[in-house]
Each structure stands twice: as C-alpha cells, then as structure tokens.
Structure 1
Amino acid sequence: MRKHALLAAVGLAVSATLAATTQAGALGAAAGNVLTTGSAAGTAVAVGDVLSASLPAGTKARIATTLGGSTGITCNTSAFTATVTGNPAAPGTATETVTAHTLSSCTTNIVGATGVQSITVNNLPFSTAVVSGGALTVTAGAAGPIQTTLKINSILGLMTCVYRAGSLTATPSNTDNSLTFTDQLFTKASGPGTCPANGYFTAKYGPVQDVTQAGSPSVFVN
C-alpha cells in the first residue's frame, strides 16, 4: 500500500509540474509585445526600427473645413515614417517618433481658391504612443506644436494658412495593418481671413510596415 501511495504521490507531483510548466509557457506566449511583425503573435518590433505607411490604393487624405463636410482639400498622396523608441510586453504602451509626414498631389474646392501649392508638416519629430488594444496618439515633440502650413492659390493671390493641433488620435486595425485618422481638428494659428478657421483631417494609412526588416513585414498592434 505504501508503495502504491508513493507512486501515486510522485505521479501527482509530475502532473502538477507539467501543468505549471505548460501554463507558464502559454502565458509567456500570450504576453508578446505591443508591436509585432508577421502576426499578432509574431516577432517583436525592435527599438530603432523604422515604420512606414502610405495611403492604400484608391483612398485619399482629406482636410475638411467643417466637421464631416465635403469642402476643403483632398490629397492623392500621403505617407508617414516613424522610428520605434519603445516596445514593451503587452499589455503596455509602445512609443515612436514621427520623423516624416507628407501630403501632395492636392486639390481644393474651397470657394475662392484656385489650387494647392503645398502642404508642409512642421515641427517634426512628433511623439507617438500606441496603447495595447487601444488608440495611437500623436503629441507635440521638442520642436514645437503639431503644425501644418498650407499654401493655397486664390483669386486674391497666395494664401499661407498655418494650423495647429493639440494632439491627433488614430485607430489601428490588425485586419489590414492600418491606421485611420478621422476628423482630427486643426485650428488656424495664423493667416488671412480668407483661410478657413478650422481643418478636420481624415486619412487611412496602411499597411504599416517595418521597413528596417527584410521584406518589410506588416506591423500588428497587440
């Protein structure tokens, strides 16, 4: 009896050890990092890697003069580049710096405007935080506030309109590895009275790719 009891005890101990090991392995696998490539359970994006994305085919970036409005500026080309500065285990908050953001091939239907000469994003780099299961938030960097300068040709001559935003928020999606900005408010900081008082920025970028790594794999947010 003592022999059978001892064997049973040993068996229980082994089973408990295996169960604990399996559970720890599962937790370790589930933890992952906030930013990964290849899949949600893929390779962690390394600090220092460069991420980049542009507008998906057939989409445009828009700056409306009113919330949800159809009057404003439409750009056929836009892209951003960011460098990863932190990528902890999930759940957590990854950080990036946006080093470039461009908008070009733009047209306008603002009354009195005849064309868009240029749109320049000022005061780069910006700071970015990506929260697990949440939004991506862009905030001002050391160079100054989030600012965009629009040079618009009009029937009265060139208008230089400067707009600023306190922060910008985008929604990430692992379905197509995209980031979507919707009606992000910019207010006029300077410019003539013919410049619209506000600009509401909407754009989708994707897929977001880690261009530092071979093959530029898509980036997932966990």
Structure 2
Amino acid sequence: MRKRALLVSIGLAVTATLAATAQAGASGAAAGEVLTTGGAGGTAVAVGDVLSASLSAGTKARIATTAGGSTGITCGTSAFTATVTGNPAAPGTATESVTAHTLSSCTTNIIGATGVQSITVNNLPFAAAVTSGGSLTVTAGAAGPIQTTLKINTILGLTTCVYRATSLTATPSNTDNSLTFTDQLFTKTSGPGTCPGSGYFSAKYGPVMDTSQAGSPVVFVN
C-alpha cells in the first residue's frame, strides 16, 4: 500500500508539473510585442525597421468634399513608409515615424476642376502610435502640422489648395494585415473659394510589410 501511495504521489506531482509547464508555455505564446511578424504573438518587429504599404488590391484613395460623399478626388496609387521607433510588450503602444506618404494617378469630379496636377503631403515626418486592441493615430511631428497641398487644374487655371488635419486615425486588421482610414477630416487653411472647405480622406493600405527583413513579412498588431 505504501508503494502504491508513493507511485500515486509521484504521478500527481508529474501531472501538476506538466500542467504548470503547459500553462507557462501558453502564457509565453500569448505574450509578445505590439508589432510582430510571422503571426499574432510572433517575432517582434525591431526598432529601426521600416514598414511600408500600398493601397490594398482593388481599392483607391479618396478625398471627398463631404463625409461619405462621391464628389472630390480619387487616386489610384498611394503608399506610405514608416520607421518603428518603439515596440513594447503587448498590451501597449508601439510608436513609428511616418517618413513618406504619396498619392498619385488622381482624378477629380469637383465642379469647375479639369484635373489634378499633384498632391503633396507636407511637414513629414509625422508621429504615429499603434495601440494593442486596434487603433493607429497619426499626429504632427516636429516639422509642423499634418498638411497636404493640392494643385488642381480648373477652367480658370491652376489652383493651389492647402489642407490641415489635427490627427488621423486608422483601424488595423490582422485578417489581411491592413490599415483603413475612413473620412478623416482635413480643413482648408489657404486657397481661393474654388477650393472645397473640407476634405475627407479615406483609404485602405495593405498588406503592411516589414521591408527591413528578408522576404518583407507582413506585420501583425497584438
């Protein structure tokens, strides 16, 4: 009986040890940094890595004159580049420096406009913060406010319109590793009356990739 009791005790101890090990392993797998590659909770994106994305396949960037409206400017090409400046353990907030944001191949259906000569994003780099749970916020950097300059051809000649935003918010998705901006408000700060008073920016970028790593793996938000 004593031998049987000893074996039972050893068995219970082994079971408890295995259970604790499994639990620790599960906790370790769930842990990780805010930005990872290889999957949620995967390999941490290193500080200094460069992330980039173009418009998601089949989508276009829009700057509408009203929220959700159909009048405005549509761009077939757009991309951004950002450098990771901080990537703490999740849950937390990762930080980035947005160093480039381009929009091209643009057309317009604004009354009186005949074409879009250029769209330039000014005052880069911007600051960006990515929080666990799913939000990215872009704010002004040291160079000045978030600003975009539009040069639009009109029936009266070339018109320059300048717009500013206080901040921009996007929603990340781990389903397709994308970032979606919806109706982000820009307000006109200079330009003639032919420039709309507001612009509402919408675009979906993805997949977001870590171009500093071999194969440019896609990025997950944890």
Query: Normalising to structure 2: TM-score of the pair?
Result: 0.94
Gaps in structure 2 of 5+ consecutive residues: none
Deviation of 1:6 after TM superposition, in Å, equals: 4.8
Partner of 2:27: 27
1:126-165 superposed matches below 5 A: 126-165=126-165
Cα deviations by residue, 1:54-77 (Å, 9 ceiling, x for unpaired)? 012321110000111111111111
1:51-200 superposed matches below 5 A: 51-200=51-200
- Aligned partners of 2:141, 2:17: CA distance in 1, in Å? 50
Q: Is the Cα contact below 8 Å between 2:162 and 2:190 reproduced in 1? A: yes
**1:211 equivalenced with 2:211 (yes/no):** yes
Secondary structure (helix, strand or coil) at the match of 1:46 reads coil
Amino acid at match of 1:200: Y
Deviation of 1:155 after TM superposition, in Å, equals: 1.4
RMSD over aligned CA atoms reads 1.5
Deviation of 1:10 after TM superposition, in Å, equals: 4.2
- Aligned partners of 2:142, 2:13: CA distance in 1, in Å? 57
- Aligned partners of 2:7, 2:177: CA distance in 1, in Å? 53
Secondary structure (helix, strand or coil) at the match of 1:213 reads coil
- Aligned partners of 2:87, 2:20: CA distance in 1, in Å? 28
Query: Normalising to structure 1: TM-score of the pair?
Result: 0.94
- Aligned partners of 1:87, 1:110: CA distance in 2, in Å? 42
Amino acid at match of 2:201: F
- Aligned partners of 1:109, 1:3: CA distance in 2, in Å? 88
Amino acid at match of 1:30: A
Secondary structure (helix, strand or coil) at the match of 2:29 reads helix
Gaps in structure 1 of 5+ consecutive residues: none
Cα deviations by residue, 1:93-121 (Å, 9 ceiling, x for unpaired)? 11111000000111111111111111000
Q: Is the Cα contact below 8 Å between 2:134 and 2:173 reproduced in 1? A: no
- Aligned partners of 1:4, 1:216: CA distance in 2, in Å? 58
